Amino acid sequence: MRIVLPGAIAALAVLLAVSHVYAQQEASPPNAGAQTPAALVSTPGQTSCPGNPHALGVSRTVEIDTTGGPLFGSPEAKQNDFLQPGKIVLTFDDSPWKGRTPKVLAALARHCTKATFFAIGKHSVWYPDELREIAAAGHTIGWHTWSHKNLFKLTEEEGKTEIELGLAAERFVIGDAVVPFFRFPGLRHPEAMMAYLGQRNVAIWAADIDSKDYHLRNSKKVIASVMTQLTKRGKGIILMHDFQQSTADGIDTLLDDLQARGFKVVAVRAKGQIKSLPAYDAMLTANADFQCSRAGKTTIPAGAPKPHCD
């Protein structure tokens, strides 16, 4: 049954409805609770590459203001998605590793392109020369904790130590070449640790495309994984591990395939710097792995994946 309100009652109903809308707007302003988009500056990159006319190069470079700890590469961070269709960011975790990181660097150099490496503190102490090679090649270097622990399983103080000790290790090796970019192990983001990194003005990097090289452990399967996901999504931040043999073996072919399919690389840089904290610098110098490396006693026995102290 249709009911028609008399004019006066209808007018009152409209007035009440409008008042209700205004009340809602005052209580919940537009985008309430949304993270302020990160400040970005984009400049053209270098596309020419001597000796390789089919190189990926760098289509553009994006400089990121990390104030407040902006998040990238996550569904919760759509306001920080700076990639246009066909554009990609190359990232590598668990850096550096002897014999594998150099192969990745050589492939990137052949394509005159740039990537972002998220290094582990322990690996940086074990293989400082490889970390320096990444820096010397002009790649961006963030960090990935001290020993790749699941921060959800740690106390807040233990989590801070994992974060800060990793930074202290990298800064000891390459100084200001470390930038305020951080990636959580396993892409697990405890809220307390995200808040802490925000206070330290460190950008947090997730990923749009996970190569799953740590699971596939086969270069052809890793390449197929990346290309299948990228074809479906059309762009994205790609997560790989230079620590994984499958990625070290397959990166040359993957870069060739990316170029052949018309994808363009975007390099990322940080606007500011990050300093380690004195308390964690002291903790680093007292660490057994650090002392072993400084004494030149870190070795890898034949067939053993992990260094040990002689």
Which letter, b or e, does each residue of 233-248 get, where b requires 16 or more Cβ atoms within 10 Å of its Cβ? eebbbbbbbbbbbbbb
The one-character DSSP state at 59 is S
How confident is the prediction for the chain on average, in pLDDT? 87
pLDDT average, residue stretch 174-189: 97
Confidence grade of residue 178 (pLDDT, cut at 50, 70, 90)? very high
Confidence grade of residue 25 (pLDDT, cut at 50, 70, 90)? very low
Nearest partner of 133 among 162, 166, 100, judged by Cα: 100
Comparing 4 with 43, the larger pLDDT belongs to 43
Q: Does 29 reside within a domain?
A: no
Domain that holds residue 257: 41-79+88-294
Q: Does position 5 have pLDDT exceeding 70, yes or no? A: no
Q: Does 4 reside within a domain?
A: no
**Which whole-number Å values give the CA distances from 299 to 119, 132, 197, in the listed order?**
19, 19, 34
pLDDT average, residue stretch 82-108: 97
Q: For the chain, what percent of residues have pLDDT higher than 70? A: 85
Long-range contacts of 255-258 (CB under 8 A, 24+ apart): 255/56, 255/107, 255/108, 255/110, 255/111, 255/113, 256/54, 257/223, 257/227, 258/56, 258/88, 258/227, 258/230
Q: Which amino acid would we find at residue 70? A: P
Confidence grade of residue 54 (pLDDT, cut at 50, 70, 90)? very high
Q: Does 21 reside within a domain?
A: no
Q: Does 8 reside within a domain?
A: no
pLDDT average, residue stretch 20-48: 57
Confidence grade of residue 158 (pLDDT, cut at 50, 70, 90)? very high
Q: Does 9 reside within a domain?
A: no
pLDDT average, residue stretch 188-192: 96
pLDDT for the residue 295: 80
Q: Does 248 reside within a domain?
A: yes
Total count of domains within the chain: 1
pLDDT for the residue 305: 60
Confidence grade of residue 28 (pLDDT, cut at 50, 70, 90)? very low
Alpha-carbon span 290 to 297, nearest angstrom: 10
Confidence grade of residue 17 (pLDDT, cut at 50, 70, 90)? very low
pLDDT average, residue stretch 207-222: 96
CB 144 within 8 Å of CB 164: no
pLDDT for the residue 298: 73
pLDDT average, residue stretch 66-71: 97
pLDDT for the residue 300: 64
Alpha-carbon span 293 to 164, nearest angstrom: 19
Q: Exposed/middle/buried for 149, CB within 10 Å: 0-12, 13-18, 19+?
A: middle
Which helix or strand (DSSP H or E) is residue 165 part of? helix 156-174
Q: Does 164 reside within a domain?
A: yes
Dihedral over alpha carbons 229, 233, 237, 239 (to 10 degrees)? -10
CATH of the domain at 124: 3.20.20.370
Q: Does 3 reside within a domain?
A: no
CB 39 within 8 Å of CB 65: yes
Phi/psi region, residue 201 (left: phi>0; alpha: psi -120 to 50; beta: rest), is left
pLDDT in tens, 116-132: 999 999 999 999 999 99
pLDDT for the residue 27: 32
Comparing 253 with 291, the larger pLDDT belongs to 253
Q: Does position 13 have pLDDT exceeding 70, yes or no? A: no
Q: Exposed/middle/buried for 74, CB within 10 Å: 0-12, 13-18, 19+?
A: middle
Q: Does position 12 have pLDDT exceeding 50, yes or no? A: no
